Amino acid sequence: MHDSAYQALFTLRDLLRYAVSQFNVARLSFGHGSDNAWDEAAYLLLHTLNLPLDTLEPFLDARVLPEERERFLKLLERRIDERIPAAYLTGEAWLQGHRFVVNSSVIIPRSPISELLAEGLSPWVPDADSVDYVLDLCTGSGCLAVLSALAFPNAQVDAVDLSERALEVADQNIELSGLDGRITTHCSDLFDQLPQCEYNLIVCNPPYVNTQSMENLPAEYRHEPTEALAGGEDGMELIRRLLVQVADYLAPDGVLVLEIGNEYENFVAAFPHLEPIWLSTANAEDQILLLTRDQLES
C-alpha cells in the first residue's frame, strides 16, 4: 500500500480522499465520535498532523512530509485491519466540545445524556444553581461527571465505577478539567460501597446491551470493555438492581436520568408499572428516561 501511495499522495486533500475510499471499501463501522467516513478521516488526519480539528479548509492543498504521510497511513492501516475505533488510536475523544483522554479500559464517550447536560437538564432541573449533589453511576471515562460539574456550578459530583482501571482514566479527565475539587471518584458496585447521600440528580449510562445484540456488535465495539456494554439476556440486569436501590439515594425532589440505548421494548417489558418521562435528543426519542423519587418509591 505504502509504495504506490508515495507516488501519488502529496497533499491533505489527496490523503483525505484516499482514506475515505479505503474506509468505504473496508465497510468500517462508525459511531464512536463520528458517524461517517469523511469526518473520521478528517479527524485522524488533522490529529496526526497536529492541526486544529476545526481547521481543514486552509490546509487542504498543503503538501505533507514523507514522515507525516507514513504516520497517517500506518494509522489508517490499524483502523482498517484491526478495526480499532479512532479514539483508541488517538487516545482522545471529544464530547460537547470537551476533550477526554481514553484507552480501552473505558467505553468511548458518546452518551446522548451529554446533550441534555449541556442544556442543564432544563426544564426538568428548574434551577441549575440549586443543585448541590450529583451522582454519575457507571462513570467510565468520567465524561458525564465532568459535564455535570460544568452544568451545575455549585454541585459536588460523585463518580462511581466498579472498574479500577476505568477510574484511573476518570481521575485523569477530572484533573484535566480543573474541577478536581468538586468531583470525587468511588470504586463501588452501584451503591454498595458508596456513602449515604441525597442526590438532586443521578445520571447513569449503564451496561444495557442485550445478549443477542452483543453477539451482533460490529468489530469496533468489541475493542470496548465488555462489562461496560453487556446488560445480560434482556439488557436489564444492572438496571433491575439500580431501580430497587436508587430512591434511597435521591433527595425528595431528586431525579434519575437513565440511558437505555436501543432497549426500549425490553425496558417496558421489564418495568410495565413505571411511566418514565422520555427525554428526546438530536438522534433519539426513546433512549433516555427520567424518573422522580416519588415514581421510584411507588
Q: Which domains does the chain have, with CATH numbers?
A: 2-90 (1.10.8.10), 105-297 (3.40.50.150)
| pLDDT tens profile 46-100 | 999 999 999 999 999 999 999 999 999 999 999 999 999 999 999 999 999 999 9
Q: Please return the burial class of 274, using the count of CB atoms within 10 Å of its CB with bins 0-12, 13-18 and 19+.
A: middle
The pLDDT mean for the chain works out to: 95
pLDDT for the residue 298: 79
pLDDT for the residue 4: 74
Per-residue CA distances from 171 to 118, 134, 137, 183 (Å): 21, 17, 15, 9
pLDDT for the residue 1: 55
Max Cα distance, the chain (Å): 70
Q: What is the pTM of this model?
A: 0.95
Torsion angle of alpha carbons 87, 165, 114, 182, nearest 10°? -130
Q: Which residues of the chain have pLDDT under 50?
A: none
pLDDT for the residue 117: 98
